[in-house]
Amino acid sequence: MATVYDFNVKDRTGKEVRLKDYEGKVLLIVNTATGCGFTPHYDPLEKMYAEFRDKDFEILDFPCNQFANQAPGDDDDIHEFCTMKFGTEFPQFAKIDVNGETADPLFEYLATEKPFEGFGKGLKNKALEKFSDMNNKTFGDKAYIRWNFTKFLVDRSGKVVKRFEPTVPMDEVRKEVEKMIFEK
């Protein structure tokens, strides 16, 4: 049975990283963007990372520009923005595609393990779903991720246990992360 540990990714300098190197840790894997309405999620993400990184917790940040071109710039520009504006210290990887023929295999796997189930109720969420549908039409059956700041929680054995759409409040994400970290 496949786990996230079966995948290799590239760090922001282009060096290959084996996700197996994170074995035994709780992971929160996120596709991000610097110009998105959800970009402020970096703040609670960094707070969570600062608090729990010494408890075998990692956030893996994968910038993506497939949603209304909200992650312009190269990997260095994105990294500088995140560290200067939000003080991020968690690992940031090379910019990737999460949808279409060029989708990174890791995100194809994550989304296959935990498919999209909706953004939730409310006018803003319905509006995002409509906009997302238009944006992702070009990806057809390879529209794995619906918007920036989709988060996947992975347990210590590498199994994907939960998917959080960007509309899920960050305090709910944190509660699930805490449960996973302190569950023995």
Catalytic residue positions, numbered: 36
What are the phi and psi torsion angles at 17 (to 5°)? -125, 130
139: nearest Cα among 97, 101, 95: 101
- Amino acid at the residue 78: I
Whole-angstrom Cα distance, residue 116 to residue 121? 14
Question: What does each C-alpha distance from 76 to 12, 33, 47 come to in angstroms?
Answer: 7, 13, 22
> Could you tell me if 62 and 96 are in contact, meaning their C-beta atoms sit under 8 angstroms apart?
yes
